[in-house]
Chains A and B, each alone.
Chain A
Amino acid sequence: MASLETPPDPDGIYDARGEVPLARPITQGDVFRGVDIPGFDESVPAVIITQHPCSMRAGSRLRERIMVSAVRPRQTIHSKDWQGNASAMLLPNLLEDSKDYQADFRDSGSVKTIELSRASRIASLTNYGVQVLHQRNIYYHTRLTVDIKTLAETYDPIATEIELQYDWVESALNSKDDVALSDETLKAISVAEKEFGDYLDANDSALRKGLQNSISRADVRRQVRREMMNRYGE
C-alpha cells in the first residue's frame, strides 16, 4: 500500500535554488517571488506552480494562465511531517538559509503566465521533487495516494521534453556572446523555445509522439541533441 513519500534527502527535491538558469523551461514546481494570486487580500512571499506540465503547456509554449499555490514560511520540517500536512507541499531549506517553507494547496489560484518571469524565479524542483509535489497535490484533492514509481513513469515523457528543451535553449544561448538577463536574452529564449517546438512538431509530430514511449525515447534524445549540435555547435 502506497504512502506519502518521505524524501530520504530533502535537498534531493531541488534542482536549483536562489538563481535558476535562464535556459531552464518554466514548469511545475518552479517557485517565483513577487507574484500576487488574484482574489487574495494580502501578498504572499512566493508562489509555486502546481499545474501538471501536460496541462500548462500547449506544445512547447506555456498557456495563458497557470495554477499556483501560495508559499509561506513555516516551522521546522521534521521527517515525520511528510506523512501529514496533507494540504501542503513541504519546502525545507527552500532558499538555503536554513528556513523552511510550505506551499499551501488551500491558497491556490490562476495567474497570468506573463507574471511568472524568469527573473523572479527563485527555485525549481528535480523530477523527483515534482513527483513528490504531484503526489501530495493529488492526495489533497482526492485523498488518493499514488505511488511515486507510477507517477514517475507517467511523468517521463514530459520530463524528457522539458530536459531537451532546456538543452536546446542552453545551446542556443551558449552560441551567443552575452547571456546575461536582458530583454534581448529573453527574446532569444523565446525564439529558441519556438524553434524547439517546431522541430518536435515536424513530420506530423513524430518526435513528440516518440517521447511517449520508453522504447523510442533514447532515439528522440539522440536526434534532438544532434540537431542542436548542427544548429548551435557544441
Chain B
Amino acid sequence: MVEITETLRDPAQGTAGSSLTGYSAVETSQTTAPMLVRAGLLRTQVDALGQDVASVHQEIRDDDLAQRAAAKGRNGVPSLLTELAVGRGMAWADIARLTGVSVSAVRKWRASQAASAEHRLALARLAAFLDLLEEYAIEDPAQWMEMRLPLPPGYVITPIDMYHRGDVTALLEYASLRRSAEQMLDEIDDRWRDRRSEFQSYDAPDGAKAIRIRERSE
C-alpha cells in the first residue's frame, strides 16, 4: 500500500501522481518495515505449506478410499448391488452410469451374470465412497449425491455428475466443507459458468414437474 502511494506521488509517473499533489503519504516506520517483510514472507511460506498439506491430505484420502474399495470388493456383486440399491437407495441408472456400464448390464449382474473384476471394483469404490460421505456427517449419501449443488440459478450440476466426470477428490473436498461448490467447480472446470440454462424446472399445479423459461432477473 505504501509502495503504491509512493509511486502515485511521483510526478514523473503521470496524471495519477499529479492528481495526488498536496497529499502527504505516511511511510512505513523503520521498525515496522522489516516486520512487514518478515510477515509477508511467513505468509507466503504458510500458503505454500498449506498447499503441500492439502496435497498430502488428498493423497492419503484417495489411498484410504482405494483401501476401502478393495475391502468392499471382497463382497460379491449381488451383495454390492443390494447395498447400493436397497440399503442406500440409489437408482439403477445412476449405479450404471457411475460404474461405466449400461443399465441392462447392471440388471444382468442382478440376475447373477458375472461382472468383470474392473466393474466389480467400480461398484466397490462407489459403495466405499458413500461410506466415506457418511463419515463426513452426510446423513443420506445417496440422496446427497442426486441433489443439485448450491449454485446460482440456471446451473444444474449434482455430485453424481461430478463423480461421473472422475472428480472424486474435488467432491470430497466439497463434502468435507473445505471448498464451496463454486470454488470446487472453479478449480476443475473454468468453463462451467458458460453452461447456464435458460430454462428452469418447476412444480406444475398438477403436482408433476414442468419446464419454463427462466425469468430475466434471475
Contact = CB atoms under 8 A, between A and B. Distances in A.
Contacts of A21: 107
Contact of B143 (A147, A152, A214): A214
Nearest to B203: A212
A220 B156 CA distance: 22
Contacts of A136: none
A41 interface: no
Interface stretch (A26-34, A86-94, A184-192, A222-230): A222-230
A221 B93 contact: no
Q: Chain B interface secondary structure, helix, strand, loop or mixed?
A: mixed
Contact of B146 (A54, A209, A214, A229): A214
Contact of B142 (A126, A170, A218): A218
A160 B93 CA distance: 9
Contacts of B200: 150
Contacts of B86: 222, 225-226, 229
B198 interface: yes
Contact of B93 (A163, A218, A225): A163
A44 interface: no
Interface string A123-136: 00011000000000
B143 A153 contact: no
Interface string B50-89: 0000000000000000000000000000000000011111
A225 B85 contact: yes
Contact of A212 (B146, B208, B211): B208
Contacts, number: 92
B196 to A, nearest CB: 9
B178 interface: no
Interface residues of B, number: 31
Nearest to A208: B207
A92 B170 CA distance: 37
Interface in B192-218: 197-201, 203, 207-211
A220 B88 CA distance: 11
Contacts of A151: 211
B213 to A, nearest CB: 9
Given A2-B197, A146-B211, A225-B89, 13 more contacts: A15-B103, A150-B199, A155-B209, A156-B146, A157-B208, A160-B91, A212-B207, A214-B147, A214-B148, A216-B143, A221-B91, A221-B142, A222-B86
28 contacts: A2-B197, A15-B103, A54-B208, A126-B93, A127-B93, A146-B199, A147-B198, A149-B156, A150-B197, A150-B211, A151-B211, A153-B201, A153-B209, A154-B211, A157-B208, A159-B91, A159-B93, A163-B93, A170-B107, A212-B203, A212-B209, A218-B90, A219-B89, A219-B140, A221-B90, A222-B86, A222-B89, A225-B85
Interface of A: 1-2, 12, 15-16, 21, 54, 126-127, 146-147, 149-160, 163, 167, 170, 209, 212, 214-222, 225-226, 229
